[in-house]
Structure 1
Amino acid sequence: MGKTASKLSKDEISSLKKSTYFDKRELQQWYKGFLRDCPSGQLTNAEFLKIYKQFFPFGDPTDFANYIFNVFDKDKNGSIDFKEFIIVLSITSRGSKNEKLEWSYKLYDQNRDDKIDYQEMLNVLVAIYKMVGPMVRLNNDEATPELRAKKIFGLVNKDVNDMLDMDDFKVICEKDNQVLRGLDLYGGLV
């Protein structure tokens, strides 16, 4: 999908229809828009950050955008092609709750060891707090990223020395829907 043809081929459409929740017309529209914004057919990290800065003008979305970019960039080549983009958009906007949980889990599991440690959780939370800036008022028990991370770990009776697995993460998301709320950003795009 790295090429910049103006239209998706029948094979590409067929493949993407199997991999996403979009129909042929939607895929073609998204592809046209993707090429308009990324004529090279590749979305770079810098371009991705520029998009996030439009959504969060009062904070600094740099770190969070980098974390999200790394989850989008499945082949780890330093850019997002249309296939990577549309598959993630499909999951985050129309996927099942379980698909969204799995995708979000990857965001927090930065070293890809299938566990989330306290530092990984804290890194993402610090990035979120920097991104939203002063625009969000928080409860006292979530006033800092450290307090929020400890609260999240406490939801499954774990402390900062423990690791979270996918089952823990599912329980956390059942008890606190804010953990997945960041995905709502994409819901408005579709």
Structure 2
Amino acid sequence: MGSSNSSADDINALEIHHWYRKFMKECPSGQLSLHEFKGLLGLQGMNPEANQYIEQVFCTFDMNKDGFIDFLEFIAAINLVLRGKIDQKLKWYFKLYDADGNGSIDRKELLSIITAVQAINGHQGVNPEDFTAMLFQKIDVNGDGELTLEEFITGIQKDESLLALISKSFDLSNVLKTIQNGRRKSIP
């Protein structure tokens, strides 16, 4: 009766055990600080925009806001990246973009994040100003210059090209690959 459920539970338990070993190898204290996070991903010494983005990503994963990512927060992040549904990921992106935490994204916040992502990823496609203008033109339904969570999710889901662009730009699977393969070597 429970054999198929048991198999699924075993796989999940094995995955969790694997990630726990990796996490504890990289963070023997059981808590990952911002400095360790940057070091783990080889993202130290970035320009101010990129650094701000890295800090914002860290803060969104630090759910209890204690200045560390513990194992439960880490597993929640992995689950979002690997198995999260698109609406869950869009909610996370919204939280990431909403730098001041006021429940809406203004042009300045979006421009700042897009600039930072391009600084890290080196994407040369659309410049940040044009991307920000295009996104607001397409999904700012009431034209108030701010995107609510509902406008953001609905607008992105309705536009396949925006969804693909945002998903590609903010794909964090490379972060997981870095952790899974061990620390990056520092570049002198």
Which runs of no fewer than 5 residues in structure 1 stay unpaired? 1-16
State the shift of 1:46 in Å: 1.0
1:186 matched to 2:186? The reply is no
Task: With a CA cutoff of 8 Å and minimum separation of 6, indicate the structure with the bigger relative contact order.
Answer: 2
Q: TM-score, normalised by structure 1?
A: 0.74
* C-alpha RMSD of matched pairs (Å): 2.6
Give the alignment partner of residue 147 of structure 2, picking from 161, 164, 188: 164
1:146 matched to 2:129? The reply is yes
Give the alignment partner of residue 29 of structure 1, picking from 6, 9, 18: 18
Helix, strand or coil at the partner of 1:40:
coil
| Change beyond 3 A, Cα 1:160–1:181 | farther
Q: After superposition, what is the alpha-carbon deviation per residue over 1:89-111, rounded to whole angstroms, capped at 9, x for unaligned?
A: 10121011111111111101112
Q: TM-score, normalised by structure 2?
A: 0.75
1: CA distance between counterparts of 2:14 and 2:60? 26
Which runs of no fewer than 5 residues in structure 2 stay unpaired? 1-8, 181-188
Counterpart in the other structure of 2:69: 80
Structure 1: which amino acid aligns with 2:151? D
1:155 matched to 2:122? The reply is no
1:71 matched to 2:60? The reply is yes
Helix, strand or coil at the partner of 2:94:
helix
What percent identity do the matched residue pairs reach?
Answer: 28
Q: After superposition, what is the alpha-carbon deviation per residue over 1:71-90, rounded to whole angstroms, capped at 9, x for unaligned?
A: 00111111110111110110
1: CA distance between counterparts of 2:83 and 2:73? 15
Count of matched residue positions in the alignment of Structure 1 and Structure 2? 162
| Change beyond 3 A, Cα 1:151–1:51 | farther
Counterpart in the other structure of 1:11: none
Contact 1:117/1:160, CA 8 A, preserved across alignment: no
Structure 1: which amino acid aligns with 2:58? F
State the shift of 1:161 in Å: 5.5
Alignment of 1:18-167 (within 5 A): 23-53=12-42, 60=47, 61-133=50-122, 136-138=123-125, 142-143=126-127, 145-157=128-140, 162-167=145-150
State the shift of 1:27 in Å: 0.7
| Change beyond 3 A, Cα 1:152–1:52 | farther
Contact 1:117/1:161, CA 8 A, preserved across alignment: no
Helix, strand or coil at the partner of 1:53:
coil
